[in-house]
């Protein structure tokens, strides 16, 4: 008597919101393609070649007509797949490999965590490592069930989705934890855009993040 067929492996998609990341997005896409053939980049009104570079690297690309923020871009990428599990990545990572993604995804697939959050511990610049240690809950590297992520209130309304995700983790009693991504770093805004433009962009980002609860109360 023949044994029953082995269950199909879980379907995983990698979703990558991106805004003007033509220099780094291809490397992130290639690392993601080593994990799964389903890699979706949502170009958030990029004015450079982000969409073309991502498509050339093998990703499926969703192009938003104007820059609306990481939250709307993330939601657009999630809506472009029906995979059960998703890995969410920033498009400005350097040093990313398949092993990092497997490590991030493993506790979720095993049922130990509802969300795994990737953090950098060394291997990057002092500023990026310091920022990740200070605010690990704002990391853009995450793994979870797609359905859970789409259930986050205001996910597609907030320019930065990390505060509503963190809020929803706490409100739903979800199990979450940090996973170290060794030798991965994030290119600083000051490096990508020049010091003053990057510093202004960083200031605007933190202002948006810190005023999330006020916007939430207003509805």
Residue range 7-22, pLDDT digits in tens: 778 999 999 999 999 9
Is 198 domain-assigned? no
Residue range 144-193, pLDDT digits in tens: 999 999 999 999 999 999 989 999 999 999 999 999 999 998 876 445 65
Q: Cα–Cα distance between 123 and 100 in angstroms, integer?
A: 13
Is 193 domain-assigned? no
Its domain, for residue 46, covers 12-187
Whether residue 33 is predicted with pLDDT greater than 60 in this model: the reply is yes
Is 25 domain-assigned? yes
Q: For position 143, which CATH number holds?
A: 3.90.550.10
Q: How far is Cα of residue 49 from the mean position of the Cα atoms in its chain?
A: 20
Confidence at residue 123, expressed as pLDDT on a 0 to 100 scale: 42
Is 121 domain-assigned? yes
Is 207 domain-assigned? no
State how many domains the chain has. 1
Is 170 domain-assigned? yes
Is 70 domain-assigned? yes
Average pLDDT, the chain: 85
Kindly give the residue spans of alpha helices, DSSP state H, lying in 67-186: 70-79, 98-109, 126-134, 146-150, 162-172
Confidence at residue 129, expressed as pLDDT on a 0 to 100 scale: 41
Tell me what percent of the residues of the chain surpass a pLDDT of 90: 68
Return all residues near 138 (Cβ < 8 A) that are at least 6 apart.
160, 162, 163, 166, 209
Q: Cα–Cα distance between 52 and 50 in angstroms, integer?
A: 6
Kindly give the residue spans of alpha helices, DSSP state H, lying in the chain: 25-33, 50-57, 70-79, 98-109, 126-134, 146-150, 162-172, 189-193, 195-210, 212-218
């Amino acid at each position: 008597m023949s044994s029953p067929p082995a269950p199909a492996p879980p379907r995983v998609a990698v979703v990558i919101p991106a805004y003007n990341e033509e220099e780094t997005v291809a490397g992130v896409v290639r690392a993601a393609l080593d994990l799964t053939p389903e890699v979706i980049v949502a170009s958030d009104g990029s004015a450079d070649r982000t969409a073309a570079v991502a498509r050339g690297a093998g990703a499926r690309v969703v192009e938003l007509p104007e820059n609306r923020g990481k939250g709307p871009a993330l939601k657009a990428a999630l809506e472009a797949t029906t995979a059960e599990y998703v890995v969410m990545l920033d498009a400005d990572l350097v040093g990313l490999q398949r092993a990092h993604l497997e490590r991030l995804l493993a506790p979720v697939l095993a049922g130990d965590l509802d969300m795994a959050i990737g953090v950098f511990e060394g291997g990057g610049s002092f500023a990026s490592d310091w920022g990740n240690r200070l605010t690990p809950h704002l990391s853009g590297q995450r793994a979870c069930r797609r359905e859970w992520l789409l259930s986050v209130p205001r996910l597609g309304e907030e320019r930065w989705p990390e505060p509503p995700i963190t809020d929803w983790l706490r409100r739903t009693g979800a199990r979450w934890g940090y996973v170290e991504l060794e030798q991965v770093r994030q290119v600083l805004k000051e490096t990508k855009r020049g010091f003053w433009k990057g510093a202004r962009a960083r200031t605007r980002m933190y202002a948006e993040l810190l005023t999330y609860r006020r916007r939430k109360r207003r509805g």
